[in-house]
Copies of this chain bind each other. A is one copy, B any other.
Amino acid sequence: MIDDWWGGRAVRDMLPRLFFTHFRQTSFVAEEDGELAGFLCGFLSQTHPDQAYCHFVGVAPSHRKSGLASELYERLFEAARAAGRTSVHCVTSPKNTGSIAFHTRIGFEIEAEVPGYDGSGESRVLLQKRLSA
């Protein structure tokens, strides 16, 4: 259903099942009345033992503006803190001003904008949030 949630944008390829299989401690699903309302896929960085990373947050159109994305992020912050991580990182498109505004609101700061970041020729904004102990 994820491509529908994104208004037809093909984002499903960004979400192979491996994220749900192999990163369960840092991935979360929200349901209401047995229906999927939203989810977040994160992981603990293997390269950087002080970092966690959020790969994807998705909220059903009917649950937008409800604070759900922020609540899902809170779960990731807790899990990351519990695993001794001191920052959470994510990447978004500079065109996605809604995403940048949301992340800033929940405590992320822009680290850098990097041209051609994902090999697509497009640039990406790198964000990080420092976790308090």
Contact = CB atoms under 8 A, between A and B. Distances in A.
A7 to B, nearest CB: 17
A53 B18 CA distance: 9
User: Interface on chain A toward B: helix, strand, loop, or mixed SS?
Assistant: mixed
Contact of A12 (B2, B10, B23, B120): B120
A44 interface: yes
Copies of this chain per assembly: 2
A64 interface: no
Interface in A78-133: 91, 117-120
Contacts of A118: 12, 16-17
Contact of A119 (B2, B51, B91): B2
Interface residues of A, number: 29
Interface string A1-44: 01000000010111111100111111000000000000000011
B119 A15 contact: yes
Nearest to A3: B119
B2 A22 contact: no
Contacts of A22: 43, 45-48, 51, 53
A14 B53 CA distance: 17
Contacts of A48: 22
